[in-house]
């Protein structure tokens, strides 16, 4: 897949840290939600993805972090259409990766191609 990264490593890491702080706040407010366990798992999954991507960006640079994110996204099971509280970890990872793609301005066509490669949950 062809993609162009216009953000620097520092900009990517800064954005990921911001997203990670939001996910941390969501973990802390999970007990106040109607379904605390699902909300917490979703937020923790997002935090883990952001941390992994930030680490990749710092060690390997912008192109490598985008390639890693696309690979992670393609390897996620496709869970769209399942009940709202089903598969919170997968949905949290998916949400984090899609937020990352928006942050870096990834061409929607590239994301759609990666999404098509995903297999349905079994």
3 state SS of 2: coil
Alpha-carbon gap, residue 42 to 82, rounded angstroms: 15
Contact 50, 16 (CB under 8 A): yes
pLDDT band at 89 (very low <50, low <70, confident <90, very high): very high
Query: What does the pLDDT look like over 19-70, one tens digit per residue?
Result: 999 999 999 999 999 999 999 999 999 999 999 999 999 999 999 999 999 9
Q: What is the pLDDT of residue 4?
A: 78
Q: What is the pTM of this model?
A: 0.94
Query: What does the pLDDT look like over 58-70, one tens digit per residue?
Result: 999 999 999 999 9
CA distances from 33 to 1, 25, 44 (A): 39, 13, 15
Does residue 1 surpass a pLDDT of 70? no
């Amino acid at each position: 897949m062809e993609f162009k990264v216009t953000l620097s490593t520092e900009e990517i890491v800064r954005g990921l840290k911001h997203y990670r702080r939001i996910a941390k706040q969501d973990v802390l407010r999970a007990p106040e939600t109607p379904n605390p366990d699902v909300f917490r798992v979703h937020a923790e999954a997002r935090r883990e993805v952001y941390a992994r991507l930030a680490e990749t960006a710092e060690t390997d640079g912008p192109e490598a972090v985008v390639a890693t994110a696309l690979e992670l996204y393609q390897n996620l099971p496709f869970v769209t259409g399942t009940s709202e509280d089903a598969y919170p970890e997968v949905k949290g990872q998916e949400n984090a990766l899609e937020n990352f793609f928006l942050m870096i301005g990834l061409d929607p066509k590239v994301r759609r191609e990666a999404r098509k490669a995903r297999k349905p949950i079994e």
